[in-house]
């Protein structure tokens, strides 16, 4: 026998009344009585204390009848007491406080923490069924929940907003208060408990690694791992993109995100590389922005010094003072500059001739500057010296050759052939590079030496550097050229002063005087110039839903002659914009539409008011930012969806939605549902991903015809837009996977009834014709004799 008793009831209640048959005179109770269950001699079974299911949920007892001697007459009979549960225990979290971390941009819905609670009540009843809920999120930003919890499992994960907006730089930590309720959370009388969850937001690990430094010409086996990138979740597909489009790209990446150099690098060939690492999902769509990888090639000393030329020629005056600089030998080393690999040492190893003595010259060890070391030179004794100079770095040595020519002393100054070259008038639009004047000075020192070579400098009247002078090395003629555009508005008249001087210093006691100076006056005439924009391209950015009349940008230009400017637009093909003719401010005059064209490009024309009405053109680019203003629609016309009739089991079809708005790199997130309640008994829609859904039948009882299923698609935007689309589905007879559909009537093709009518009419006409012919034949037979009639059977009829 089995009895059920709710726990917590008042004690001393009767469970059952047993009856004994003679010779039994009393009852005996044994088993798991726990001193709670008793039986009277008369067979009254009862309990003496309150039952507790959590202490023991089942009591197994035995009842037997005894005679007067205590011997068993009947039994023992097994008795089971089931203690039924009541909700007398509150749920309790296993921890009063939880700690967890979640990575920025983690996938929404992926659990990063489980909270757990227990309840001693029967889990098979609502008393022990627990429901979890987030009751507080701190901080709460813009009333948006960044976290969600599975109410049955206690799994905590990010919402879609949390995945996109969590930023440890702004809010590195969050606190959640989680509640748990029994009775499935559906009863006002349920018990509850709370716990606290501290969450640390960790940084998105998808970021560019530190720049890599690689030693050139490495002899280690390749490929060599040099760095790595990691997407936040496993399963990403990695690839490298060569930013510089090199003919030889010596890097690779594996599917763990490890980046390798595949062959030795040469710093002298290329000292640095920049490329991108890309992470894509299983559909080959980028998961995020590419990461820029920098590789610097470190130098080793693998290049010897090189001489600047086969022979380097210097000149020294015969009265040069001891210690004066003769010239600087500058050798080169292809190894990295400012390192020990390219630090050069200079040493004179031979002087030819050694007259009047050896060691006339010395060279600075690191600078390479040659100096006169022992005594002044005499040209008539030795006009030329040749030096062999050893140039070395820490591993290599090179011999360079220097020729030193002893020249006459510079004791004569350059003298202009005339001191005033008069006036010169030029238009301000004279071409840059034009030669506008020729000047000439002479020097009596030894020809073709630094003492007689003349250099011309403009020392006054040209602070903007609009003019320059080039010197003919053979004739010392100076050619004055225009280096920068002339400008009437800033320099209409310029008094230009030239100075002629030698590259070699003058001897002591000789100085330049007024003979080495000349002048001329430059008059610049005005040329009417077109207005000038402050920049070639102007750019502005606005939302596509700005109100008509909103200022979207402005341009500025000025006229070199100071005339007023009038602005106008050119190429406004959509009629979206207007410009203030005076200020250059640009306004919208019609609704803007990003999907129709962004950036929207127009030309701005600036025209001078008065004068020659010259104009110039600049570009104005209006970038339109997207708003959610396009409802979802089907990605294509679905006219070929069918099920084979009759259905043997419920089936499904897949369709795709899209819209014309701009989406993030994660793509759209549409939701789908059956739009009509009357269709929900026959059809159901389930989401596959953000763009695809599955239309399924709920049963198999469909007629052989076309059904039009109305689907509601919501884009989840801000604000959300939705539309109801029609999806035609045909149930038809099939053969070899194809649908045989009844042919509909097409214009120009008769129906079956029409075809039968035409056939009967044709037969009737043929019958009438045959009848007429037959009657005429009978008339002819009456006129002829029997022989003719017989002959007519074998001869053709004649008319």
pLDDT digits (tens, 9 = 90+) for 187-235: 888 999 999 999 999 988 888 999 999 999 999 999 999 999 998 888 8
Judged against a pLDDT cut of 90, whether residue 667 lies above it is answered with no
Are 100 and 185 found together in one domain? Answer: yes
Q: Residue 248: which H helix or E strand, with range?
A: none
DSSP 8-state secondary structure symbol assigned to residue 588: E
Judged against a pLDDT cut of 80, whether residue 787 lies above it is answered with no
Judged against a pLDDT cut of 50, whether residue 783 lies above it is answered with no
Residue 531's nearest CA partner among 601, 584, 474, 472 is 584
Assigned domain for 303 exists: no
DSSP 8-state secondary structure symbol assigned to residue 595: G
Q: How many CB atoms lie within 10 A of CB 669?
A: 16
What is the structure's pLDDT at 754?
61
Enumerate the β-bridge partners of residue 637. none
Per the CB < 8 A criterion, the answer to whether 525 and 498 are in contact is: no
Are 336 and 428 found together in one domain? Answer: no
Judged against a pLDDT cut of 80, whether residue 652 lies above it is answered with yes
Are 403 and 418 found together in one domain? Answer: no
Each residue's pLDDT tens digit, 710-731: 999 998 777 888 899 999 999 9
What is the structure's pLDDT at 380?
74
Assigned domain for 580 exists: yes
Each residue's pLDDT tens digit, 549-582: 999 999 999 988 788 899 999 999 999 999 999 9
Assigned domain for 739 exists: no
* Sign of the Cα pseudo-torsion (179, 180, 186, 188, in order): negative
Residue 589's nearest CA partner among 615, 561, 550 is 550
Are 107 and 122 found together in one domain? Answer: yes
Assigned domain for 744 exists: no
- Cis status, amide bond into 60, omega within 30 of 0: no
Q: How confident is the prediction for the chain on average, in pLDDT?
A: 88
| Higher local confidence (pLDDT), 738 or 514 | 514
Judged against a pLDDT cut of 50, whether residue 794 lies above it is answered with no
Assigned domain for 440 exists: yes
What is the structure's pLDDT at 762?
79
How many structural domains are present in the chain? 7
Q: How confident is the model over 483-492, as a mean pLDDT?
A: 88
What is the structure's pLDDT at 779?
54
Judged against a pLDDT cut of 70, whether residue 681 lies above it is answered with yes
Q: Residue 117: which H helix or E strand, with range?
A: strand 117-118
Q: Which residue has the tokens 């089991």?
A: 649
Lowest mean pLDDT among 103-107, 679-683, 690-694: 103-107
Each residue's pLDDT tens digit, 628-645: 778 889 988 888 888 888
Residue 113's nearest CA partner among 105, 124, 102 is 102
Are 637 and 616 found together in one domain? Answer: no
DSSP labels for 185-227? G--TT--EEEEEEEEEEEPPS-SPPPPEEEETT--S-S-EEEE
Are 358 and 381 found together in one domain? Answer: yes
Q: How confident is the model over 589-601, as a mean pLDDT?
A: 87
Q: How far apart are CA 302 and CA 130, in angstroms?
A: 74
Q: How confident is the model over 84-93, as a mean pLDDT?
A: 92
Judged against a pLDDT cut of 60, whether residue 755 lies above it is answered with no
Q: How confident is the model over 347-365, as a mean pLDDT?
A: 94
Judged against a pLDDT cut of 50, whether residue 445 lies above it is answered with yes
What is the structure's pLDDT at 757?
66
* Sign of the Cα pseudo-torsion (340, 342, 346, 347, in order): positive
DSSP labels for 376-388? ---TTT-SEEEEE
What is the structure's pLDDT at 737?
63
Q: How confident is the model over 426-452, as a mean pLDDT?
A: 90
Q: How many helices (H) and strands (E) does the chain have?
A: 3, 56
Confidence of residue 791 (pLDDT cuts 50, 70, 90): very low
Looking at the chain, the whole-number percentage of residues with pLDDT higher than 90 is 60
What is the structure's pLDDT at 736?
67
**In 660-772, beta strands by DSSP E:** 671-674, 683-687, 692-697, 706-714, 722-735, 738-740
Residue 467's nearest CA partner among 534, 520, 407 is 520
CATH of the domain at 424: 2.60.40.60
Each residue's pLDDT tens digit, 537-548: 999 999 888 899
Assigned domain for 112 exists: yes
Are 425 and 514 found together in one domain? Answer: yes
Tokens representing 194 are 């709370």
Each residue's pLDDT tens digit, 146-192: 999 999 999 999 999 998 899 999 999 999 999 999 998 888 889 99
Last residue of a domain, one of 84, 113, 129: 84
| Higher local confidence (pLDDT), 438 or 507 | 438
Looking at the chain, the whole-number percentage of residues with pLDDT higher than 70 is 93
What proportions of the chain, in percent to the nearest 5, are helix, strand and coil?
A: 10, 40, 50
Q: How far apart are CA 471 and CA 480, in angstroms?
A: 9
- For 97, residues 6+ apart whose C-beta sits below 8 A from its C-beta are 195, 196, 197, 198
Lowest mean pLDDT among 82-96, 420-434, 481-495, 734-748: 734-748
Per the CB < 8 A criterion, the answer to whether 389 and 365 are in contact is: no
Confidence of residue 795 (pLDDT cuts 50, 70, 90): very low
Per the CB < 8 A criterion, the answer to whether 449 and 504 are in contact is: yes
What is the structure's pLDDT at 789?
33
Tokens representing 609 are 């008011």
Last residue of a domain, one of 494, 525, 556: 525
Each residue's pLDDT tens digit, 362-391: 999 999 999 999 887 888 789 999 999 999
Are 229 and 198 found together in one domain? Answer: no
Assigned domain for 467 exists: yes
- Angle at alpha carbon of residue 236, lines to 232 and 242, rounded to 5°: 105
- Domain span at residue 245 reads 212-298
Are 78 and 47 found together in one domain? Answer: yes
Enter the pTM of the model: 0.36
What is the structure's pLDDT at 788?
38
What is the structure's pLDDT at 666?
65
Greatest mean pLDDT among 282-291, 466-475, 590-599: 466-475
Assigned domain for 760 exists: no
What is the structure's pLDDT at 776?
67
Q: How confident is the model over 424-432, as a mean pLDDT?
A: 90
What is the structure's pLDDT at 245?
86
Tokens representing 510 are 């000789």
Q: How far apart are CA 664 and CA 160, in angstroms?
A: 13
Judged against a pLDDT cut of 60, whether residue 50 lies above it is answered with yes
| Higher local confidence (pLDDT), 283 or 395 | 395
Q: How far apart are CA 550 and CA 328, in angstroms?
A: 67
Are 519 and 421 found together in one domain? Answer: yes
What is the structure's pLDDT at 756?
56
Separation of CA 214 from chain center: 28
Are 550 and 597 found together in one domain? Answer: yes
- For 704, residues 6+ apart whose C-beta sits below 8 A from its C-beta are 645, 646, 731, 732, 733
Last residue of a domain, one of 28, 63, 84: 84
Confidence of residue 505 (pLDDT cuts 50, 70, 90): confident
Q: Residue 470: which H helix or E strand, with range?
A: strand 467-471
Are 193 and 218 found together in one domain? Answer: no
Each residue's pLDDT tens digit, 270-327: 999 999 999 998 888 887 779 999 999 999 999 999 999 999 999 888 778 889 899 9
What is the structure's pLDDT at 696?
93
Alpha-carbon distances of 462 from 33, 416, 426, rounded to whole Å: 120, 20, 15
Confidence of residue 695 (pLDDT cuts 50, 70, 90): very high
């Amino acid at each position: 026998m089995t009895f059920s008793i709710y726990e917590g009831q008042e004690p001393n209640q009767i469970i059952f009344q047993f009856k004994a048959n003679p010779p039994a005179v009393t009852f005996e109770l044994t088993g798991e009585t726990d001193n709670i269950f008793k039986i009277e001699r008369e067979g009254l079974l009862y309990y003496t204390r309150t039952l507790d299911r959590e202490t023991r949920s089942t009591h197994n007892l035995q009842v037997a009848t005894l005679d007067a001697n205590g011997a068993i007459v009947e039994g023992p009979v097994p008795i089971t007491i089931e203690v039924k549960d009541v909700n007398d225990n509150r749920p309790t979290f296993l921890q009063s406080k939880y700690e967890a971390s979640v990575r920025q941009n983690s996938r929404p819905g992926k659990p990063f923490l489980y909270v757990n609670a227990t309840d001693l009540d029967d889990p098979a009843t609502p008393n022990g069924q627990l429901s979890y809920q987030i009751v507080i999120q701190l901080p709460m930003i813009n009333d948006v929940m960044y976290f969600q919890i599975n109410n049955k499992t206690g799994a905590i994960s990010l919402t879609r907003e949390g995945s996109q907006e969590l930023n440890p730089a702004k809010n590195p930590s969050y606190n959640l208060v989680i509640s748990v309720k029994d009775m499935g959370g559906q009863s006002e009388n349920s018990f509850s408990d709370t716990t606290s969850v501290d969450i640390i937001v960790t940084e998105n690990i998808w970021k560019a690694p530190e720049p890599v430094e690689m030693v050139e010409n490495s002899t280690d086996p390749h490929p060599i791992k040099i760095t790595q990138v990691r997407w936040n979740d496993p399963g990403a597909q990695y690839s490298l993109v060569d930013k510089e489009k090199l003919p030889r790209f010596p890097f690779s990446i594996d599917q763990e995100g490890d980046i390798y150099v595949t062959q030795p690098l040469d710093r002298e060939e290329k000292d640095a590389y920049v490329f991108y690492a890309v992470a894509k999902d299983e559909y080959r769509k980028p998961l995020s922005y590419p990461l820029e990888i920098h590789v610097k090639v470190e130098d080793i000393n693998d290049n010897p010094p090189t001489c600047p030329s086969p022979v380097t020629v210097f000149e020294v005056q015969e009265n040069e003072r001891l210690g004066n600089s003769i010239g600087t030998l500058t050798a080169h080393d292809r190894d990295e500059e400012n390192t020990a690999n390219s630090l050069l040492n200079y040493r004179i190893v031979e002087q030819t001739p050694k007259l009047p003595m050896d060691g006339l010259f010395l060279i600075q060890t690191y600078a390479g500057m040659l100096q006169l070391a022992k005594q002044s030179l005499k040209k008539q004794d030795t006009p030329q010296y040749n030096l062999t100079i050893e140039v070395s770095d820490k591993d290599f040595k090179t011999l360079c050759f220097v020729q030193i020519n002893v020249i006459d002393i510079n004791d004569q100054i350059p003298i202009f052939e005339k001191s005033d070259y008069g006036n010169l008038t030029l238009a301000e639009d004279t071409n840059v590079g034009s030669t506008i004047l020729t000047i000439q000075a002479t020097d009596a020192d030894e020809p073709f030496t630094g003492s007689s070579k003349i250099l011309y400098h403009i020392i006054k009247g040209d602070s903007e550097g609009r003019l320059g002078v080039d010197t003919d090395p053979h004739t010392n003629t100076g050619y004055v050229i225009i280096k920068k555009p002339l400008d009437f508005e800033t320099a209409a008249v310029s008094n230009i002063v030239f100075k002629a001087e030698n590259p070699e210093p003058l001897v002591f006691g000789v100085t330049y005087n007024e003979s080495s100076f000349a002048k001329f006056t430059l008059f610049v005439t005005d040329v009417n110039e077109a207005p000038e924009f402050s920049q070639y391209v102007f750019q502005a950015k606005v939302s596509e839903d700005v109100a008509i009349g909103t200022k979207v940008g402005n341009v500025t230009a000025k006229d070199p002659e100071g005339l007023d400017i009038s602005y106008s637009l050119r190429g406004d093909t959509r009629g979206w914009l207007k410009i203030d003719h005076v200020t250059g401010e640009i306004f919208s005059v019609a609704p803007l539409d990003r999907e129709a064209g962004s950036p929207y490009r127009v030309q701005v024309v600036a025209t001078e008011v008065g004068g020659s009405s010259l104009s110039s053109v600049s570009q104005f680019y209006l970038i339109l930012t997207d708003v959610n203003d396009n409802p979802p629609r089907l990605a294509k016309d679905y006219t070929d969806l069918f099920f084979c009739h009759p259905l043997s089991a419920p089936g499904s079809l897949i369709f795709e939605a899209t819209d014309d708005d701009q989406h993030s790199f994660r793509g759209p997130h549409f939701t789908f549902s059956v739009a009509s309640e009357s269709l929900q008994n026959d059809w159901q829609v389930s989401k596959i991903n953000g763009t695809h859904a599955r239309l399924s039948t709920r049963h198999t009882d469909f007629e052989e015809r076309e059904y039009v299923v109305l689907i509601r698609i919501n884009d989840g935007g801000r604000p959300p837009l939705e539309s109801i689309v029609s999806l035609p589905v045909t149930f038809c007879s099939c053969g070899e996977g194809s649908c045989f559909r009844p042919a509909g009537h097409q214009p120009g093709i008769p129906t079956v009834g029409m075809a039968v009518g035409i056939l009967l009419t044709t037969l009737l006409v043929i019958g009438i014709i045959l009848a007429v012919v037959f009657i005429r034949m009978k008339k002819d037979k009456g006129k002829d004799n029997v022989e003719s009639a017989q002959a007519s059977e074998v001869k053709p009829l004649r008319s």
